[in-house]
Each structure stands twice: as C-alpha cells, then as structure tokens.
Structure 1
Amino acid sequence: MSETHDAVDVIRTKRDGGTLDAAQIDWVVDAYTRGVVAEEQMSALAMAILLNGMDRTEISRWTAAMIASGERMDFAGLSRPTADKHSTGGVGDKITLPLAPLVAVFGVAVPQLSGRGLGHTGGTLDKLESVPGWRAALSNDEMLRQLEDVGAVICQAGSGLAPADRKLYALRDVTGTVEAIPLIASSIMSKKIAEGTSALVLDVKVGSGAFMKDLGAARELARTMVDLGTDAGVRTVALLTDMSTPLGLTAGNALEVRESVEVLAGGGPADVVDLTVALAVEMLAGADRPTSEDDVRAALADGRAMDVWRRMITAQDGDPDAPLPLARETDVVRAAHDGVLTSLDAYAVGVAAWRLGAGRARREDAVQAGAGVEMHAKPGDVVRAGDPLLTLHTDTPEKFARAHEALAGAWSVGEDGAGRTEVVIDRVA
C-alpha cells in the first residue's frame, strides 16, 4: 500500500498547534495500526496532542478511525434494545455486577464488555472470576444468545474491537501521555461505539481514588465523551460520581462479589445501591424504557434482579451457590480513639488492596480472589476506641506490612464529621 502522508508532517501540524484534517487522522491511525508509523513517531504525536489538544471534529474523526481499525458488533437482531455502562474506574467499584442484571429485568439487553484491573483500580472480570467455574471468554454467538435468553452478559471484549486502541493504550502508558483527554475519550468511546450499543451511560469518577482527581478535568472528559457518543449516533449521558471514599465497604475480588450479591438480595451499602439505581434509571431512559427510581429499587428488593444474576452466572458456567474464596489470613486495623470517621481515602485503600494481592502491577500478573480490604465504617460514622475500622485479607501475610504503609494517614477520626456525601455529583448530557 503506498503511503499518502508523512508521519513527520502530521506530528509537525499538531506540534505547532494546528488542526489535523480528516485524511491525516485516517492515515496516521491506520498506518500506526499496520506498523508503518513507528512507535517513537506516535509517541511524539501523542505528546503533541497532550500539550495542544484537539477540537471536537478532530476527536470525533480520531475515534472513528480507531473504530475503523477493527470489527463492529451488531445487536440489531436482538428482540430488545441495548444499553451499556462504562466507568472510568475506582476503588470498590463493583457497580457493573448488580447493574447489568437489574437493567435486564426491564427488558433491556446489557452487553457489558469488561476488562481486568491494573494498579489500584479493580477489574470487573477479576471480580467475577472469583465465582467458581465462571468464564470470561465468550464467542460472539454465545454472547448474542445469552443477551437474547438472559438479557445481560458480562464478558471480556474480543481482540477484534478497536485494535488501534490496544496498541495506542500501551504506548500512552509508557510515554507520560495517559492524561491527554482527547486520547482518554477516544480510547473509551472507540471501544464502546464499536460494541454497537444504542444507549450508553458513562460513570466518570472524581476524587483521590479516581483517574481524574479534579472536578473540572472530569467534567471536560465527560463532556468530550458525551459529544463523541452523540456524534456517532449513540444516546450518551454521563454522571460525575464521587470517588474520594471507596464505594461500598469492600475493595477486592471475592469481597466485592459478596457485597454485590447483598445488593441484589435487597441489602448492601446505601452508596452502592444509590449509584446502581441512578445508573439503571439513565440506561433505561436511553433505551426508551423510562422507569421510575422506585420501580428500579423494587426490582432489587423483590428478587427479580437476583434471578437474572443467577441465570447470567450460570450461563457462563459459574455456580451462583458456590461459596466464594476466602483469604487465608486477616489483620484488623482499629480506631485509636472515640470520635467520628471524617475521611477514608479511596486511593490509599485501593493501593492497600492491590498490595494485598487483589490487583496486578503488570498485565500478566495473577490476582488473589480472596485478597482485599473490608471497611467497617464510612465517613460520618461514629467509632469507639478499639473498634475495627478495616480488615485486611490476603493469602500471603508478608504483604500486610506494605499494605499498612499504604494506609498510613488514610483516615481521620475527629469530634464531628461532615456526614455522608451524595455519590452522584452532576449529570452531563
């Protein structure tokens, strides 16, 4: 194939603050995927994008070029509409697990193509793989059949979706360009649009345990992604949600599955329930099945969502009745004095869970199903001296020391607290 552009010219255009035209974008994404544009050239372009940004037309075209690098899924043959959710990742973020079956109760198919965790944020597939027998890899035919029969599927994405993104994602990680909002937005949205869902709800986390620490940057990312979805004909909304404190009372794989099952049984922590319900209401509205918050909560309380969960797990060879793995060793962190828990830092808890074995430093690392952090109090709760604040779980007790280091200064107990904060901060549509 004769090359119609020169990578250096494309780099110079963006380096000098110019706008890339459609032909330049189409060529450079395709040529990079084919190996014609070298890694060091794409590194330079990624840095130029980080420093000089992209306008809406450029980001939209860049996203379309990434989608065009691979296959697209088609759910048009299903008897029900589709809706999907994407979270930018946080600590204790097990929302996909109760959310997918909950939305399916109302006749909307939920194709959740999910990933594994890296660093301090957990991966949905890692959590579900703690369920005995459950498998993440499904063929497209299996996925479509399960969506038709059960209404919800959580599985790993095939390698054919947006291969340009997989290559560029790895490059961004080692070149200090992960934070470029045009590249974050196009990375997420190229995969989500290629998945073929008709409605998409984005959960953009803000706070210490999130990728975006700053509300302004999170809002810009949400706005960019909503615009990309809209431009591609996908009904897209975003909720900005709080990740200064971990979600729920667990961070870790089997621990989070156990908590998700509590939510599906009509219980569970209020923040997990509230966010699950808020996202479900948005997904149902996007799929033209508007449903009140009360009706959505009722489906958790009366067991309908649990029924779908059991069928979903069973369809992927999991045993919903099997006991979940438990870590062999535990260590309890206790309150030093009476008071109110005023803060509990999400990032520190996430790093502690990771160090205990719940996460991985490299993609090829194994994770421990039972490892993680269990929280016995949340900000706003009254605690007494000697009360347990956290229980650390691991199979390898030599990891406790490093987990304790991560938790140094991670919480504070004062005379009075500000009370609980709302988990949903804002909505971008």
Structure 2
Amino acid sequence: MTFNAVDVIRVKRDGGVLSDAQIDWIMDGYTRGAVADEQMSALAMAILLRGMTPPEIARWTHAMIASGERLDLSSVDRSTVDKHSTGGVGDKITLPLTPLVAACGAAVPQLSGRGLGHTGGTLDKLEAIPGFRATLTNDEFLAQLRGVGAAICAAGSGLAPADRKLYALRDVTATVEAIPLIASSIMSKKIAEGTGALVLDVKVGSGAFMKHVDQARELARTMVELGGAHGVRTVALLTGMSTPLGLAVGNAVEVAEAVEVLSGGGPADVVELTVALAREMLDLAGLPDADPAAALRDGRAMDSWRALIRAQGGDPDAPLPVAPETEVVRAAADGYVSTVDAHRIGTSAWLLGAGRARKEDSVSASAGVVLHRRPGDEVRAGDPLYELRAEKADRIAPAREAAEGAVEIRSTPPAPVPLVMERIG
C-alpha cells in the first residue's frame, strides 16, 4: 500500500493515530531514501508534540526492527540476557556486569555504543585497553557467546538501520526528547540482537538524560511494554544519577575502577548497582539461585573478564594509559560533602577530552576526572575533592571552570539517598 508522506505527517500533526500500514510504509520509505529527511523531521516533531499510543509505539518499533536483520542466538547453549543503560556519568557498570553474569551461567550479548556529550560510551572505555577490538562479525559474536559466554561490541550495520538514520536526524532537529522515539530506538536494537531477556537501567537526575522521576518512569514502562510485545522478557530499574557512579569518570580510569570491582573491591555504589542488575538478569535468565556477589569475591567474575578481553584482542595485563597533565581541586572549608553534581563533573570530563561533541570526534583514553570525596564524606579545608586529568595542559582550565561548584560542602552531612529507586516490570 502506498501513502503520501505529507498526509502521514498531517495525521500526527493534528493529533491522529497512525495506522500500522502508514507506519510500515513511512519507515520503509525513509530507510530506502524515498521519504526525505525534512519529511521525517516534520513527523518526528509531530510525534514529540502529539505523542503516540502504545500500539503506535509498538508498531513503530516493529518497523524499525524489520528495516534490517534480526540475529538468531538459538545456537547459544545458555539463556541469553542483556542490559541497557540510558547513560550517565561514571556509568561503567557494563564492564564488570557483563563478565559477572556470564560467570554465573548466562550468556550476555552486549551490543554497546560510544559516548556523546557528557555521558561516556562503553566502547570508548574498553578501547583504552591495548589491542581491544570493538567490532565483531556476526559469526565471531556468536562464537564468543558460545565460548566465553559474553561479548561487548558495536552493533552491526545490519541491525535496525532505520534507527541509525533516525537517531542522527533527531540529534539535529531538537526531537531527541520524544519518549516514543527514545524507547523505540533503544528497544529496536536490543530486540534485533536476539536476546531472550533484557534489564533496563533507567537513570534519573542531573547527570542523566531524564532529569525527573516521572519522565524516567514513563520511559521505563514504555520500554518494558515494548519488550513484552516483542517476546523479550524485560524489567527496568530506576537508578539515581545526580551523583557520578563511583570515583572515576573517563575511559581508562573507569576501566581501572571496573577491574577493582571484579577483584572484589571498588566503590560501594558501583558494587551495589552491579550486583542488583546481575540479580535481575540472572532471574530473567532462569538462574535465580546464582550468587553474583560470591562470583565477585571468589574470582570467577575476574576470570570471565580476562577471557572476554582476550577473546576481543585485548591484553588484560597491559598498563592502561595515564594522563600527563593533572590538577587537584581542594576543599575551601571544613564540613561534609553535600552533593557532587554529576552533570558538571561529566561536562568537565568531556572538556578534558574523555568525550566527544560529534560522533566523528576522537576521545582521549587517559583524560577524565577522579573524585576523592563523595556525598557524606567529612572534609577539612585543603583536602583534595577531585583531580582533573588530560593529555594537554590547555584542557585543564576550561574543565576546572565547568566543574566549579560541582562539590558542595555544608556543616552537616546529607541524608542518604537510595541508589535503586524503583523496579518496573
């Protein structure tokens, strides 16, 4: 059935509901280039302003999946389960979580991305490891899932190609915030990768894309429903992102912190969230009796990490890059750390070179911010609060300015804030 793009745009502009046939037609046409960017831009803006019904979102997601291939993981002899985070500052959870879940008996087909703006990308972090290869063929991906139990790599060009085009368009048309488009973008790729189950980590707070819990809850519910509609068992956790996760924000520094966690140590919040997500993943995979905390303590998770890194060409024993330029920012007064603003710290790390402004930009492996204090810690004037690290000295001053005021000190300690706020699904 053939439609007119202008008529489809008009339906949504006027608050109407798109039919399955209209959605299939415009997604196929856009993927093939028969529907112009300006037409899809207009439709994306109409969706942002008018919204979509749950059946519309489900069909939109289905059409994006149908634009490319869907991987078949049936040859993997373990239950498959994946995790997706909506992105945050210091969010290195995929690094310890993936080998941990594999060590407990599930297979984790983790297709990850690169960072943009103040939120870091998992592949950028892993590429700080000498030799690590982020691109795998489908055959290599499947072989690694069967042999190692986990892979962390870039999504192939054949998965949801409509999303790749639409994602770039949203970025330059102020339509990134549309929840139907966010949810379908995330879920189309995750469903197309062939996983049997999925756990979503939906971040909330100053350093997250979703600043308010109501927004995050709506996004989480939408994605959980999409997973169910496409046969993928899905649950979501809403987790706090007003404070960076852990102490390290960057690429190599986050890898080092992930290795600490895999060694049985590491910051308490990183361990807490890693174990919480692992338990959800293992439960969905049919392994509710597995004990991820024990696997961190007894070395199984570290063995799994080393096998994963080696399988993708990396050297788990190689020294990580270290930034030559550093500056320590110190406390101006006595008191207690009240807040550490994730957005300001993330922006500072980006300016130091750890992130990118455009997809084609390169990133520095060694740049980043290392925190010395977290909310609740007592400090004295002159104590170190955080350290700025960069390859070039001229990056320090703008990063220091961006981070100014990120750490607030008060006379009394703050009330504790739960890291895991809500479970949906």
Shift of 1:390: 0.3
Partners in 2 of 1:213 and 1:359 — Cα distance? Answer: 20
Give the aligned partner of residue 266 of structure 1: 264
Could you tell me which of 186, 192, 195 is aligned with 1:194?
192
The one-letter code matched in structure 2 to 1:215 is V
Please point out which of 70, 73, 96 is paired with 1:72: 70
Aligned counterpart, 1:381: 377
Instruction: Tell me which amino acid in the other structure corresponds to 1:237.
Output: V
Secondary structure (helix, strand or coil) at the match of 2:72 reads coil
* CA distance in structure 2 between the partners assigned to 1:343 and 1:367 by the alignment: 28
Q: Tell me, yes or no, if the aligned pair for 1:379 and 1:419 is still in contact at 8 Å.
A: no
Which of 364, 369, 372 lines up with 2:368 in the alignment? Answer: 372
Shift of 1:419: 4.1
CA shift at 1:393, angstroms?
A: 0.5
Letter in 2 for 1:350: G
Match of 2:32 in 1: 34
- How far apart are the structure 2 equivalents of 1:14 and 1:137? 38
Does residue 378 of structure 2 align to residue 405 of structure 1? no
Cα displacement (A) at 1:25 = 0.4
Q: TM-score, normalised by structure 1?
A: 0.98
TM-score by length of 2: 0.99
The SS at the match of 1:164 is helix
Q: Is the 8 A contact 1:281 1:291 kept in 2?
A: no
Picking from 328, 352, 356, the partner of 1:360 is 356
Query: Unpaired runs of 5+ in structure 2?
Result: none
SS of the residue corresponding to residue 200 of structure 2 reads strand
Q: Please give the secondary structure, in 2, of the residue aligned with 1:42.
A: helix
How far does residue 291 in structure 1 lie from its aligned partner after superposition? Answer: 3.0
Q: Would you say the 8 A contact 1:116–1:126 is kept in 2?
A: yes
Contact 2:385 2:407 in 1 (8 A): no
Deviating beyond 2 angstroms after TM superposition, the runs of 4 or more aligned structure 1 residues are: none
- Spell out the pairing of 1:25-424 with structure 2 (5 A cutoff): 25-291=23-289, 295-424=291-420
CA distance in 2, matches of 1:409, 1:244: 14
- Superposition deviation, residue 85 in structure 1: 0.2
Query: Is the 8 Å Cα contact of residues 381 and 419 (structure 1) preserved in structure 2?
Result: no
On the 8 A contact 1:110/1:147 being kept in 2, the answer is yes
In 2, Cα distance between the equivalents of 1:156 and 1:145? 16
Q: In structure 1, give the amino acid aligned to 2:395.
A: K
State the alpha-carbon separation in 1 of the partners of residues 213 and 79 from structure 2: 33
Identity %: 70
> How big is each residue's C-alpha offset from its partner over 1:277-325, in whole Å with a ceiling of 9 and x where there is no partner?
0100000111111136xx2111101110000000100111100001110
Query: How far is the alpha carbon of 1:417 from its aligned partner?
Result: 2.0
Per-residue Cα deviation, 1:201-257 (whole angstroms, up to 9, x for no partner): 000000000000011000000000000000001000000000000000010000000
How far did 1:428 drift? 0.6
Root-mean-square deviation over aligned CA pairs: 0.8
